[in-house]
Amino acid sequence: MRFTWLIITIVSAILLIGNYFLSTADRMEGWDQNIQLSGSDSDSISFEIIDSILQTSIRDAVIPGAVVLVNRDGKTIYERAFGYAQLYAFGKKPLTAPELMTSQHRFDLASLTKVFATTFGIMLLYEQHKIDLELPAYRYLPEFRSQSKDSITIRHLLTHTAGLHPWRPIYYHAKTPAESRRYITHLPLKYPVGAGRHYSDLGFMLLGYIIEELSGVSIDSFLSENLYQPLSLEYTSFNPDPNGPPFAATSHGNPFEKKMVFEDDFGYDCDEDPTSFTGWRNYVLKGEVNDGNAYYAHQGEAGHAGLFSTAQELKILLDLLLNQGQYRGKRILSDKTIKAFIKKDRFGHGLGWAMSPDAIPVKNLPAGSFGHTGFTGTFVVGIPKYHLSVIILTNRQNLDVNSDGTYNSLTGLRMAVTETILDLVARQ
C-alpha cells in the first residue's frame, strides 16, 4: 500500500509539473471500459495507476481520448481505450452524442510515419542491397545534386543532420508530389551539412522520394507489399479505406499551420505571402491526414506524414524490431540491419528513431530504447532490455488549439505512463 501511494504521489507531481491540470470548465466525463489485463495483484495496482493517469487527463481536458497498449514478450499485458474518439464538431461545438474511443480506432500517426513507414522502407532497401547509407543522396535523386548538397548522405537524411529547413509550407509552391519534389530538391540549405541535428520534415520527404525512385512504386505500395501484407496488417496505410474500423478525429482544419504561416512571431520564419494560399480546410479531420504538406502537396502520401494505423498493428511492427527482425517465425529483416539502425550516433539518436532523453523524456529509460512522437498526439517506445513496448495514441487535436495557438503538451502524460510501467517491470 505504501508503494502504491508513493507512485500516485510521483505521478501527480509529474502531471502538475507538465502543466496538465487545466481549467475545469472543459472537463469531460466517461471513458470506455474496454480493458485487457494479465499478471499478479501487484501488476493490477500499477495498471490502476495508469487508468487514473488517463482518466485525470481526460477529466482535465488535456486530451479527449486515448488508446494505451503495453506489450511484453510478444503478449499484450494491458490494452485500454479511454474517453472519446470525437468530442467536438468544427469550431469546438460539443457533439450531442460524442463518439466513444475503442481499441480498434485508427489514428493519424503524424510523424510516426517517419519510422513506421519511411525508416522501415529504407531498412528494407538496405537489406536488399539497393541503398548505401554512406552514399550521397543525389545518387538516388539526381536533381538533388548541387555544390552545397553533394556531401549529403542517406545517413544525414535519416539522422536529421543534412542541414535542411525543418519545415516549409510546400503547398504554397506545389500542388502535386512531382511539383513538391522539384521544389524541395532545389531549396537551399539552412544549416551546414553534418554540423548539428535539426529535425526536418523535408529530409523525410526526400527519403520518401528515394524509396519510390528505387522501388518504382509509391511508398504505400512498396511498404504494403514488403512489410504490411507479410505481417497481415490490414489497417496500416496511407489514404486509408473509409470502410473499416472507425477513425479518431484530429484537428479543426489546420489552425496551427495557418498560424505558422500568418504570424511571424510564431517561430517559423515563413516569407510566403500568407494570403496566396486559400485552400485551408474548414472541417474536423477524420480519416484524412492532418499534416498540410502531406495533404495539400502530396495527396496524403509522403515520407514525413500520412500513415494511419491502430495500436494493435503498431505493436506488431515494434515486436518485429524487438525480436531481431522476426514476427511469429516470419523473418522480414536481419538482426544486423536492425542493429545498424537502432544504434546511437554522436547526437544520441538512431537512424530515423529517437533514442536521446531529449526526445524520449522518460527517467531511467534503459540503454538501447528507441521511440518517436507524432504531432497529432501519438507516441511509442520500444525497450529491448525488457522486450517491452508502450504505445500511447491520443487525439489531442480534437480539443482544438489553446488561446496561444498551440495544442496541449503531452510530455507529462507520456512520462507518467511509461515510468509507471517501467517501475512495474523492473520490480518483477
pLDDT in tens, 193-203: 999 999 999 99
Residues 132 and 86 in one domain: no
Domain identity same for 183 and 260: yes
pLDDT at 361: 86
Query: Are 139 and 254 in the same domain?
Result: yes
Assigned domain for 303 exists = yes
pLDDT tens column, 75-117 = 999 999 999 999 999 999 999 999 999 999 999 999 999 999 9
Q: Model confidence over 161-214: pLDDT tens digits? A: 999 999 999 999 999 999 999 999 999 999 999 999 999 999 999 999 999 999
301 and 394 inside one domain: no
Q: Does residue 357 fall inside a structural domain?
A: no
Asked if residue 361 is part of any domain, the answer here is: no
199, 336: one domain: yes
Residue 376 has pLDDT above 90, yes or no: yes
Question: Does residue 129 sit in the same domain as residue 81?
Answer: no
354 within some domain: no
Burial of 97 (0-12, 13-18, 19+ CB in 10 A): exposed
Residue 364 lies in a domain: no
Q: 113 and 43, same structural domain?
A: no
pLDDT digits (tens, 9 = 90+) for 264-317: 889 888 999 999 999 999 999 999 999 999 999 999 999 999 999 999 999 999
Judged against a pLDDT cut of 90, whether residue 217 lies above it is answered with yes
* Residues 291, 261 within the same domain: yes
Say what the pLDDT of residue 284 is: 99
Which of 285, 315, 340 is the C-terminal boundary of a domain? 340
Number of domains, the chain: 2
19 pLDDT exceeds 70? no
Summary mean pLDDT of the chain = 91
Instruction: Provide the grid cell at 227.
Output: 512489410
C-alpha distance from residue 114 to each of 10, 104, 110, 208, 408 (Å): 33, 22, 8, 9, 22
Residue 401: pLDDT over 90: yes
Q: Does 360 map to a domain?
A: no
Are residues 74 and 167 both part of a single domain?
no
Q: Band the pLDDT of 137: cuts 50, 70, 90.
A: very high
Q: Is residue 359 part of a domain?
A: no
Q: Is residue 24 part of a domain?
A: yes
**Does the pLDDT value for residue 23 go beyond 70?**
no
Is residue 157 located within the same domain as residue 227?
yes
Domain endpoint, select from 293, 325, 340: 340
Task: Give the model's confidence band at 47: pLDDT under 50 very low, under 70 low, under 90 confident, else very high.
Answer: confident
Do 316 and 223 have their domain in common?
A: yes
pLDDT on residue 117: 99
Q: What is the pTM of this model?
A: 0.91
| Structural domain that includes position 78 | 2-103+373-427
Question: Based on the domain organization, do 186 and 247 belong to the same domain?
Answer: yes
Q: What is the pLDDT of residue 269?
A: 80
Residue 38 has pLDDT above 80, yes or no: no
Q: In this structure, what CATH number is given to the domain that contains residue 202?
A: 3.40.710.10
